[in-house]
Amino acid sequence: MRLDRYMNLCLQHPEHGYYMSGEAFGEGGDFITAPEISQVFGELIGIWCAAAWQAMGAPASFNLVELGPGKGTLMADILRAARVMPGFLAAANVQLVETSARLRDIQKEAIAVETSWHDSLGTVPEGSMVLVANEFFDAIPIRQFERREGRWRERCVGLDGEKLAIGLTEAEAAAGQGGPGEEGHILEFAPARAGIATEIGERLMRNPGAALIVDYGHLVSAPGDTLQAVRNHNHEPIAAAPGQCDLTSHVDFEALAKAVRQAGATVWPTITQRAFLLAMGVEARTAALSARADPGKADMLQRAMTRLVDRAHMGHLFKVMAVTSPGLAKPYPFGQQ
């Protein structure tokens, strides 16, 4: 079974899929995302969304879209912070792309405005759009090819005795996958990611809008095996517990940007999460919240900020990419470095 098929079944199977059953997010789950670390993360993205809407000409109605909204924490923070922009909330039509019925129920509790849910971006109504995707693309299935004996062979999941294991197909990889490479090199391709990125770009060509993509990954395409399984905040073998672990890989931002550009949209220079949050005022907002908090809460806020921006934590591993319709002004803080 190809890795992308295996990943899709493990994560999205209607009954046994990881996102359809267990609690994935938060301290009590298998991993914790930036919105659960600090409310400031979502608030700053909310300010960015409000500014993007204003740059679009402040349309009287627009789609505020989130891909993979998790527990709804990020969207709730976005909506709270965006109140500072007059007219934004009245114009926003919240559209969440979420396949898990269980997570949709959690999101309904978190988000206090009228919301529509979709299985894919394709069913979101046409119109002006501001889109956010935080730790969404890392969970989109990938394919891997390994260089062995002078040829590229695809990595798959199969049986090794009575256990699942990763192995190589006997057939050589299809033409166009790979190219010259060293023995043992692994290349990752994500056709499904590129498809979604293309769809975002095409929508931004048809309608004015902007998209903000935040995820962990690398700026330049390069060989390497980044596929990982996480359970209870610890790494597990990829094939050890299908449906019980979160399966993700690092996002290739160069490939993502290429897909968006080919669709015609404008991609601004991708920056680190550290650079984005510092430019957006994470220090000032954290200080303001800390000044009104008790010492324990203030300390927690400071530690959360460090986790988000420190180079040794999420600050450099996570990247932020902005995409806009052609002709829209450069969104802050992109292109400033």
Q: Which of 223, 224, 225, 247 is nearest to 235 (CA)?
A: 247
Domain assignments of the chain as residue spans, ordered by start: 12-140+190-234+245-324
Mean pLDDT of 191-217: 98
- pTM, two decimals, is 0.93
Find residue 166's DSSP bridge partners.
157
CB atoms within 10 A of CB 122: 10
d(CA 321, CA 51): 16
Place of tokens 């269980």: 102
**Residue 292, exposed/middle/buried by CB under 10 A (0-12, 13-18, 19+)?**
exposed
The encoded tokens of residue 258 equal 């290429």
Q: Which pLDDT does position 135 carry in this prediction?
A: 96
Of 10-14, 94-98, 277-281, 291-295, give the lowest mean pLDDT range: 10-14
Residue 17's pLDDT band (boundaries 50, 70, 90)? confident
- Residue 180 confidence (pLDDT) above 90: no
CATH 3.90.1300.10 fits 12-140+190-234+245-324, yes or no: no
Q: How far apart are CA 290 and CA 292, in angstroms?
A: 5
Cα 318 to chain centroid distance, Å, stands at 10
- Cα 306 to the chain's mean position, in Å? 21
pLDDT band with cut points at 50, 70 and 90 for residue 336: very low
Distance CA 178, CA 184 (A): 12
Closest C-alpha among 72, 82, 68, 81 to residue 112: 72
Looking at residues 2-19, what average pLDDT do you find? Answer: 88
pLDDT of residue 56: 96
Confidence of residue 171 (pLDDT cuts 50, 70, 90): low
Per cent of the chain over pLDDT 90 is: 79
Give residue 173's pLDDT.
62
Q: Is the preceding peptide bond at 69 cis, omega within 30 degrees of 0?
A: no
Helix residue ranges per DSSP H, the chain: 3-12, 34-37, 39-55, 73-81, 88-91, 101-110, 191-206, 253-262, 273-280, 282-291, 295-309
Number of H helices, E strands in the chain: 11, 16
Q: 21-30, 276-285, 294-303: lowest mean pLDDT where?
A: 21-30
Residue 23: per-residue pLDDT:
57
- The DSSP output letter for 192 is H
Give me 328's structure tokens: 């829209």
pLDDT at 181: 79
Measured CA to CA, the distance from residue 273 to residue 312 in angstroms comes to 12
Question: Which position has the higher pLDDT, 130 or 20?
Answer: 130
CB atoms within 10 A of CB 71: 20
